[in-house]
Structure 1
Amino acid sequence: MAAPFPSPTAKWHTTTYPTLSPTRPELSAKGKTVLITGGGTGIGAETARYFAQAGASRIALLGRREKPLLDTKASIQQINSEVDVFVAPTDITNKEQVNAAFDKFVGGDKPGKIDILISNAAITGPHEPISSVESEAFLAGIHGNLQGSLYLAQAFLRYAVPENAVVIEINSQAAHLDFAPALVSYSVSKMAVYRLWEALRFEFEKAGMRVYHVQPGVVDTDMNRAVGGVAALGFEDHVSLPASFSLWLASPEAKFLSGKYLWANWDVDELKTRAKEIEETQEFNIQLVGWPFSEKKWSSGGVTFGAPE
């Protein structure tokens, strides 16, 4: 289909394709330990299945409801019975629950680090526009998404080895575009969440940590239906697209895109042909349009900004 949004690649994908295949040796997750929030249904569950196909050794699924987590675990074990699948009913806005889930997954009788974090859980918050929204509900929606991301980031850091760590933050076009006024609390929160994960990347970039921000497409998930996404827009992306895109991002092929805000619909083969150009500029970063940031280096407070060496 023709791209319904501006795209830096000529090809616009609505489902997975061969370059994102878990059977490619370049995308192997063999020996990797992966933790996925929102792992019981939708994008999180499908992402877990792709990592299982790629040979991940251990996968943790966190989500609010136990039954969907157990159903996803069963589907993973049908794909690859050798994967150790851990489930923990977890409200990521509850710090104690987040810490307990991480501690139990990594500790116990099967200790080990966490290589890859897929931050996929979120709430939409109230659906009313600024003119009529209840202020406390509006702020609670923002606080909930930020709170969950902060708790995840801090728990992940306790067990990640920065040199090998990968964070894939499932964001939303709501942070990238002027979205429906009725979802402004969600839009504000997703922009704030983007900045939080960017701060983590900035803190550990020299150590080798990679962080990616992803608009996953218009996928028919529970959250999407709650805000009328597919029905309102009139088109749909298959859940395999963001799932396989995340698998690709976790591979060495995608190192040049660390720190970038990416749409899963973009063609990665075209992006790879421009790897050096993309890596060395501010392209695909959220920034002030028109500010001559990427052309020159400048310093402030002892920190140098601009294109990397």
Structure 2
Amino acid sequence: MNTLKDKVILITGANRGIGKSLVKAALEKGAAKIYATSRNLNTMPDFADQRVVTLKLDITNNSQLSEVSAITKDVQILINNAGSLNNGTILGGEISGLEYDMRTNYLGTINMMRAFSAILESNAPSKIVNIVSIVAYSPLPTIAGYSASKAALFSATLSARTELAKKGITVHTVNPGAIDTDMNKESDWEMPSPDGIAKIILDQVENGELDIVPDLMGIQMFNAWKEEPSKLAGIFHDIYHGE
């Protein structure tokens, strides 16, 4: 097992949802230091632990990213959790929403991997953990821009995995289903708590799992896709049309 104990970890989007829960779970794992970042530090909770260092970071802001990467040269594990979700279909949604999700979820995460790849190589063995989504396998039409950005991120993550394989950097994907976070607050689905999901994610990272689906809904959807990709597309078709 590759333990997270005594590791230096950077977690983006750490102010709420899975990101906040990942900070708490990493503390429980015995991390030596956790850089917890958010676009707005006023929304950052008090983790009441001196191992947590909070930093302002918008992953689409190259200036902020340069500043943060310059003062976090000791990072050994990068968890890219920050993201955005705009509701809307491909044909009916606002183009600005589609662009924003792509700029944040895809290009912003690529910015992070580029900024930290040399740091992680110097601190190898190290890890990148990208929080993607089950919609990377098939889009949910009501969040079509988000789905497209996560599919692109999934592809980029696999590319980075191959590119970094001989540099001592292991690259993990996490493809959860719906989790009970602010991002899904308008959903009436029965969803698991992000605290439990964060623990599962870090357990599986420690166990060396490269492709992680941490929740029952996600596993059921992944298994449908694995059996036949059209089956997951069919599930989302029925959800969209209320069938």
Gaps of 5+ in 2: 217-221, 230-243
Name the counterpart of 2:213.
263
1:183-202 deviation digits (Å, cap 9, x = unpaired): 11000000001111211111
Structure 1 runs (4+) deviating above 6 angstroms are: none
Rounded Cα–Cα distance in structure 2 between residues aligned with 1:147 and 1:219: 23
Structure (1/2) with the larger helix percentage? 2
2:31 corresponds to 1:98: no
Rounded Cα–Cα distance in structure 2 between residues aligned with 1:64 and 1:100: 14
Match of 1:247 among 202, 220, 224: 202
Rounded Cα–Cα distance in structure 2 between residues aligned with 1:48 and 1:92: 18
The structure number with the bigger radius of gyration is 1
Deviation at 1:240, TM superposition (A): 2.1
Shift of the 52–209 alpha-carbon distance from structure 1 to 2, 3 Å rule, reads same
Percent pairwise identity: 25
2:36 corresponds to 1:61: yes
Gaps of 5+ in 1: 1-25, 107-112, 267-282, 291-309
Shift of the 98–208 alpha-carbon distance from structure 1 to 2, 3 Å rule, reads same
The alignment of Structure 1 onto Structure 2 pairs a total of residues equal to: 222
On the 8 A contact 2:90/2:144 being kept in 1, the answer is: yes
The DSSP-based 3-state class of the residue aligned with 1:50 is helix
Rounded Cα–Cα distance in structure 2 between residues aligned with 1:138 and 1:217: 20
Match of 2:127 among 166, 184, 191: 166
Rounded Cα–Cα distance in structure 1 between residues aligned with 2:150 and 2:39: 20
Match of 1:46 among 10, 21, 44: 21
1:52-72 deviation digits (Å, cap 9, x = unpaired): 111111100111121332x24
Match of 1:149 among 80, 96, 109: 109
Name the counterpart of 2:47.
73
Q: Counterpart amino acid of 1:120?
A: N
1:85-109 deviation digits (Å, cap 9, x = unpaired): 2111211111111121121233xxx
Rounded Cα–Cα distance in structure 1 between residues aligned with 2:53 and 2:23: 11
Shift of the 86–134 alpha-carbon distance from structure 1 to 2, 3 Å rule, reads same
On the 8 A contact 1:86/1:105 being kept in 2, the answer is: no
On the 8 A contact 2:129/2:172 being kept in 1, the answer is: yes
Shift of the 139–42 alpha-carbon distance from structure 1 to 2, 3 Å rule, reads closer
Q: TM-score, normalised by structure 2?
A: 0.81
